Chain A
Amino acid sequence: MIQQGQEEPAAIPTVNIDGANVPFTEGETLYEICSRQKKDVPTLCYDPRLDPFGGCRLCVVELEGARNPVASCTTRATAGMKVRTKTEAIENHRRTLLELVVSENRQVEVDELAGYASQELKILVERYDANRGRFQGKQSGQSRDDDDNPFILRDYDQCISCYRCVRVCAEQEGDHAISVMNRGFDTRITTEFNGLLRDSDCTFCGQCVQTCPTGALADKKALKHVDVPGKIEKTRSVCPYCGVGCSVDLLSKGDKLVGVLPAMDGPANEGALCVKGQFAFGFVQHDDRLKTPMVRDEDGKLHATSWDNALDRAAEGLRAVVERHGREALYAIASGRAPHEAAYTMQKMMRAGWGLNHIDNCSRA
C-alpha cells in the first residue's frame, strides 16, 4: 500500500499476453515470457542457452501495431505490448511452416536415443498434423555417411537448417568447429573445407547432438541400443571422469546402460559435457569387468573364487602381516575415483581398526 508522503513507486511494467497482463523484467523476450506463462509457443531453432536466432519463425505471435507477426524469441518486451499467441492465422502459418519443414526432411520419426532434443520436430508435427504430404519437392541436406567417427552421426538428410548445432558449438563450447556453408536451400552444415569431424576443431563434446531437434546429428553409441527391449529409464548422476563434476542423466533399458545425456540443469555443467562424459561410458558393461573375486593360489596364479573365500583370504593375509611385522606394516590407498563411502570406510578400517594413519589416496600422482 502506498503511504502518504512517499513517492508512488514506478509501476511494474507489464505486457498483455492473450488478454492477461504479465509483468516482465528488462531484457526479457516475448518468448521467455510466453514460456513462463506456459503458452506452449512452438519453436525449432530455440535453445534457451543460446542467443535468440529467429530462424524457424514458428514462434511468431501477433503484436498489436505491427504490420506482420513478430518472432517472439527475438522480440524484447516493452511495456504495454499486446500480444496474441494463438490466433487462427498464426496457427495456420505455423502449420504451413511445419509442412514445409516436413517436405524437405526425409524422416520425422527418430529414436529417442538419438539425443536430448531429438523428438522436438516429431512432437510439433504431430501437434499440428503437419505430415499430410503437401509441398512435395526436392529435399535439402546431404547425409555424411563418409564420416566414420564412432560417436556423432551426421545424417543431414534430416537436417532442417536451424543451426542450433553451429550456434551451440560457437556460443556454448567456443570451438567454432562447424559452420554454415552455401546459402538458401543449398545451405549445409560444414566443417572447415567440408571434411570429417576428426579433421576439424571438433572435440566431440556432443553438444551439437544434444541440441539437434530432428536427430540429424545423433549419438551413434546410444543408437546401437535401439533394439534393446524395454523403456528408456533416466537416472541422475555425476560424470565419473575429471573433478568438474558434470551432472548427467544415465539412460538405461532394463539392465543395459545405453547412453548418457548431459543434465541441462546440472549446476557444474549447465548442459555441457566433454567427449569422455558423453561417450566413454562403455567401460561399465565391458567384457573385461571383473565379475568374481580372485585369489592367488599355490600355483602362483589368480583364480576365481567365492566372496566368502576371497574376503577370508583378504582378512587373513592382513592379520598375518600384522602378526609377523606389526600393525605398522599395513598400508591402504583409497581411490580418487570411488565414492566417499569407499574412502571413508577405508580410512576408518585403518584408523578405527588398527589405530593407524597409514592411509593415502592417489592425489599425489
Chain B
Amino acid sequence: MSNPLADMDKPDVFFCIGTNMTECHPVAATRIKKGVAAGAKLIVVDPRQIELAKRADLHLPIRVGSDTALLLAMTHVIARDDLVDQSFTAERTTGLEEFIEHVRDFSPEWAAGICEVPAEDIEAAARIYGQAERGAIYYTLGITEHICGVDNVKSLCNLALMTGHIGREGTGINPMRGQNNIQGAGDCGAIPNNYPGFQPVDDPAHQEKFERLWGTRVDLERGMTKVTALERCGESVFGMVINGENTLLSDPDRAHCQHALESLDHLIVIDLFLTETAKLAHVVLPATAWAETDGVCTNTERRVQRLRAAVPAQGEAMPDWWIITQIAKRLGFEGFDYESAEDVFNELCQVSPLYNGLDWDRIDNSEYHWPVPDKDHPGTPRLHEDGFVNGRGIFSCTTYRDPAETINDEYPLWLTTGRRLQSYHTHTQTGRAGGMEYFLPGESLEIHPDDVTRLGLTDGEACRMSSPRGTVDIIVKATTKSPPGTVFTSFSFEDTPVNALTGSGYDPTTHTAELKVCPVRVEPIAAG
C-alpha cells in the first residue's frame, strides 16, 4: 500500500476494484465501512454483489476481466471533463499529453460495450473519483490475477497520477496483500528478480554487493518464476523445495501441477500438515507454526512486526529457518551459522536498504513502515510524499485485451474465483481451527437464479462444471450475488478443487495466473 491503514479514515472517495475486502481483509474493510458511515463516497467495481457493493454509492458490476477498458474510459472522462490535477501532473509526472491523446478514443460508450455496464455509470465513477479531494484506490487479486494484471495496475496508476490522488494523506494506490507475510517474502528476496530489499539481480552492482556479503557470486540472470518452474518440472527442473504452500490446491490447472510435482526427482516440503502437496514429497519436514515461532512479518502497509512464540512446538517441529539452515549446512554452504531468528533478521537488516535502520529490538513496538534507510529515520508510512522513486510518475499507454479464453458456445459462462470469510486459502488452517464448518460445511457454486433455471440446475444439488482442463462436481447455490452469466466459487476445498479448471493464461510480465477468469460449462449431473 502506498498509504497506511490509518489513512483509511481520511479519503472522501474510496475506489475499490477487484477487492472483496469484507471477506478477505475484514479488519481493513471496517475502516471503509466507518468512512462511508461518516459520509465518504464509495465506488465498487466488482462483477459480484459483494458486501461492499451493497454499501456503495455506485456499484459497477463489470464483466470479469474488463477492468482495463473501464479504467481507460475513466481516464478518458477525467481528461475530457478537465478533472486533471494540473499542478500535480506538471510538477510530478511525465507523458501526460501523450497519454491524454492516447485515451481520446476510449470513450465510456466504447467501454460500456466491453464492461457490460452503462456508460453513464462509468462517467459517474470517473467524475466522483476525479472530483474527490482525497480519492483512494484499493485493490486486490481481482486486479492482478489476469493476463493483463500489469496493465490493470498501470491503469490504476494513470488514474491516481492524473488526479494527484497519490503521495498525500487519504489517497494512494493501495493493494491489499492477501497473506500475512506475502509482502515479507518479497522484502526478503524470495522472488526471482530481486535480492532482499528489491535490489534487482540483473544489476552488476548488486551482484558485486552480495558477492561481498555472502562470498558467492550469484547469476546476473533473473530466475524463472514459479509458474515457469512448474511448467519445466521433469524437463529442466528436477529438484524443488516448497515451504508452506499447498501448491496443488492453490495453483491453477491442478492436473498439470500434480503431474509437474510428480515428475520431480526430489521434492522437499516444509509444512505444518501433510497437505495434498506434501503427500507428493520425498522428504517432509515439520515446521513450527504461528504461536510457536519467533520471527518477523511485514503487513500490507509495509509495517514490520514481530511474531512471538507463546507455546512450545508440537512434536519435533522446528522453525523453518532452522530447517533450511540445516539443509544448507549439510550441503556445505557457508554463512548459515544462525543461532536464532534474531540473527537471521539482523542479517536481513544489514543487506536490505529498506531495512538498514531496523533491527530485532527496534521493531518491538511495530512502529516502523519500510523504507527505514538508517537508524535516525522514522519510517515511511506514506510513499511518494516528496517524489517518486524514479523521479517522475510515468503515464502508461495501456490498451485493453480480452482474457486468454473467452466464453463461447461450448463454455458459455464466466467462472471467477476468490476467498470466503470463514476459510483461508486452501483451508489447511481454517479447516482445522474447529468451528468453521458450522458456517461453511463445504463449497458451493454461486449462480444467478435465472441461470440456474436456464441451465436446468437445482438449487442445493450438485452440478458438473467443466473447462478445457478439467471437471469438478459442486453444489449449486442460487444467488443474485452472482450476475447472470458469471459463476463464483472459492479454491478452499479439496473435494471441489476448482483449480482443476483454471489456468487459461498468465500475465506475460509477472506470470501471475488468470485465476479470476475462466470460461466454463455448467450442467446438471445426469441421473443414474
Interface size class of B (residues with CB under 8 A): 35 or more
Chain A residues closer than 8 Å to B328, beta-carbon distance:
345, 348-349, 353
Q: How distant is B179 from chain A, measured CB to nearest CB, in Å? A: 4
Give 1 or 0 for each of A313-342: 1 = CB within 8 Å of chain B CB.
111011111101100111111111111111
A235, B308: Cβ atoms closer than 8 Å: yes
CA distance A275 to B291 in the complex (A): 17
Given A325-B236, A359-B191, residue A243 in contact with residue B25 (CB < 8 A): yes
The answer to whether the Cβ of A25 comes within 8 Å of any Cβ in the partner chain is no
- In the complex formed, the residue of A with least CB distance to B265 is A321
CA distance A349 to B239 in the complex (A): 14
The answer to whether the Cβ of A365 comes within 8 Å of any Cβ in the partner chain is yes
Q: How distant is A223 from chain B, measured CB to nearest CB, in Å? A: 13
Chain B residues closer than 8 Å to A272, beta-carbon distance:
27, 30
Give 1 or 0 for each of B298-337: 1 = CB within 8 Å of chain A CB.
1111010111111110111111110111111011011110
B191, A314: Cβ atoms closer than 8 Å: no
- In the complex formed, the residue of A with least CB distance to B183 is A243
**Interface-located stretch among B60-68, B213-221, B470-478:** B213-221
B283, A291: Cβ atoms closer than 8 Å: no
The answer to whether the Cβ of A46 comes within 8 Å of any Cβ in the partner chain is no
B244, A338: Cβ atoms closer than 8 Å: yes
A321, B238: Cβ atoms closer than 8 Å: yes
Within 8 A of B (CB), among A147-181: 148-151, 171-175
Central interface residue in A289, A290, A352, by most chain B CB within 10 Å? A290
Within 8 A of A (CB), among B2-43: 5-6, 22, 24-28, 30, 33-34, 36-37
CA distance A340 to B346 in the complex (A): 11
- From A239, A282, A320, A336, give the contact of B433 (CB < 8 A): A282
CA distance A257 to B237 in the complex (A): 41
A contact residues, total (Cβ < 8 Å):
114
Within 8 A of B (CB), among A265-294: 266-269, 272-277, 279-286, 288-294
Central interface residue in A241, A289, A344, by most chain B CB within 10 Å? A344
**Interface-located stretch among A34-42, A54-62, A304-312:** A304-312
CA distance A8 to B189 in the complex (A): 59
CA distance A259 to B286 in the complex (A): 23
CA distance A238 to B304 in the complex (A): 11
CA distance A291 to B286 in the complex (A): 6
Given A203-B26, A337-B181, residue A362 in contact with residue B344 (CB < 8 A): no
Chain B residues closer than 8 Å to A245, beta-carbon distance:
180, 297-301, 303, 305
Q: How distant is B165 from chain A, measured CB to nearest CB, in Å? A: 22
A338, B243: Cβ atoms closer than 8 Å: yes
B contacts, CB < 8 Å to A = 5-6, 22, 24-28, 30, 33-34, 36-37, 176-193, 195-196, 201, 210, 214-219, 221-227, 229, 236-245, 247, 250-252, 265-266, 268, 270-274, 278-279, 281-287, 289-301, 303, 305-312, 314-321, 323-328, 330-331, 333-336, 338, 341, 344-345, 347-348, 366-367, 421-422, 424, 428-436, 438-439, 510-513, 515
Q: Give 20 A-B pairs besides A314-B285, A318-B239 with Cβ atoms closer than 8 angstroms.
A: A150-B435, A236-B308, A242-B180, A276-B421, A280-B436, A284-B292, A288-B273, A291-B316, A295-B284, A307-B326, A313-B283, A317-B266, A319-B331, A337-B181, A339-B341, A340-B296, A340-B348, A341-B321, A343-B190, A359-B192
Pairs of residues from A and B, 8 with the lowest C-beta to C-beta distance, nearest first: A291-B315, A245-B299, A339-B295, A174-B33, A243-B177, A335-B244, A357-B223, A150-B435
